[in-house]
Chains A and B, each alone.
Chain A
Amino acid sequence: MKPEYEKYFRNNLPHIWCAGCGHGIVMSAWARAVNQLGLDKDQCVAISGIGCSSRITGYIDMHTMNTTHGRALTFATGVKMARPDLNVFVFSGDGDGTAIGGNHFIHACRRNIDMTVVLMNNNIYGMTGGQFSPMTPFGKKATTCPYGSIDRSFDMAELAKGAGATFVARSDIFHAKHLTDMIVAGFNHKGFSIIEAVSSCPISYGRRNGTPDPRDMMDNIKEMCVMKAAYDKLSDEEKANKIPIGILQQIDDAPEYTSEYEKLVERVQGGAK
């Protein structure tokens, strides 16, 4: 590992993820972002929930918490309200973030506390062996939808936008440099930033959907993920099998919660004098 980002890891690789799992690529993109930002790891926090994505915190040399399923954002809210001076990263997955953690997800978007969330979307519950998640595409197979999913799926970015998130971006494991850029931009945004990292699960998702080889999954992602500017120029028909990557929403003048609380304290204490 390159020493410039090796310093952000505990010396405990290999990680738990399967061969060809996209999550390792996300982790390395994140490490390059942290290196670019030049962060002091003692002033950084990484929090995750449960699932494949959430195992990431075990490898990161920061103050780390591998919390309960779906609740990473609640713990992160606590950390930030206790110590707004600390930099908080949250890692989640499609199931952890938008199913069991869905309520916390929308309220974190709404509340706008300064933190950077990386949601690794592999379209499946990998850790439990391949059950469909709210982000499994319609018609795709999983152990709990062996005949193809009849559940409509979430577009996480649209969900976040709808809930008022002030920074919403998407990138993917093929455009790994771009993913780093998105994480850096999200971190630099003052407020709640969410970055969907389109990842891959060859074992639990690919095997049941015709792409058991990580190379094929990578090619599909390369094909599917298009820069937003180019995506916007596509016809509706062309858009059908594509998803836009890049910054999808950024609101710079929204009140950030911990700053608002500071102001509230000043106001209340000033009034009391």
Chain B
Amino acid sequence: MAKKSYDVQVVSKLCKACGLCVHLCPKNVFDRAKDGRAVPARPEDCIGCGTCELHCPDFCVETKEKEGE
């Protein structure tokens, strides 16, 4: 079975740069931009656990399983 892969999106205009997703992600998918906002730097490492989504207070992080892979 092929390894599942995920789209990781951060809606930048909603991000308040709290850093919670960066902090809680077990696979270190996110980096912080200069202004502190989250950037999905390594989406290929995402395991789709949903921790970032669950803990984003601002509804700006979303992960979605890629189709057809």
Chain A residues at the B interface, C-beta cutoff of 8 Å: 1-2, 13-15, 17-25, 28-29, 173-174, 176-177, 202, 213-215, 218
- When chains A and B are docked, how far (Å) is the Cα of A24 from the Cα of B20? 12
Q: Are B20 and A23 neighbours in the complex by a CB distance under 8 Å? A: no
Query: What are the 7 closest A-B residue pairs judged by CB atoms, nearest first?
Result: A24-B57, A20-B18, A19-B16, A176-B54, A215-B23, A19-B18, A1-B59
List 17 extra interface pairs beyond A19-B57, A213-B19, A214-B20, CB under 8 A.
Answer: A1-B59, A1-B62, A13-B14, A13-B59, A19-B18, A20-B18, A22-B57, A25-B54, A25-B55, A28-B56, A28-B59, A174-B55, A176-B55, A202-B18, A214-B19, A215-B19, A218-B24
Assuming A1-B62, A2-B62, A13-B14, is B20 touching A215 (CB within 8 A)?
yes
Q: How many A-B residue pairs have CB under 8 A?
A: 59
Which A residue sits closest to B57, measured CB to CB? Answer: A24
Q: Are A214 and B18 neighbours in the complex by a CB distance under 8 Å? A: yes
Q: Are B59 and A20 neighbours in the complex by a CB distance under 8 Å? A: no
Q: Which residues of A contact B59 (CB under 8 A)?
A: 1, 13, 24, 28
Q: Which residues of B contact A215 (CB under 8 A)?
A: 18-20, 23
Q: Are B55 and A218 neighbours in the complex by a CB distance under 8 Å? A: yes
Flag B34-68 by CB within 8 Å of A: 1 or 0 each. Answer: 00000000000000000001111111001000000
Q: How far is the CB of B30 from chain A (nearest CB, A)?
A: 12
Which B residue sits closest to A2, measured CB to CB? Answer: B62
- Let me know if B10 is at the binding interface, CB within 8 A: no
Chain B, interface SS category: loop
- When chains A and B are docked, how far (Å) is the Cα of A23 from the Cα of B55? 10
- Count chain A CB atoms within 10 A of each CB in B16, B17, B24, B59 and give the residue with the most: B59
Query: Can you list 9 contacts pairing A with B, beta carbon distance less than 8 Å?
Result: A2-B53, A20-B19, A22-B57, A25-B55, A25-B56, A29-B54, A174-B55, A176-B55, A215-B18
Q: Which residues of A contact B53 (CB under 8 A)?
A: 2, 28
Q: Are B14 and A20 neighbours in the complex by a CB distance under 8 Å? A: no
Q: Which residues of B contact A213 (CB under 8 A)?
A: 19
Q: How far is the CB of A220 from chain B (nearest CB, A)?
A: 13
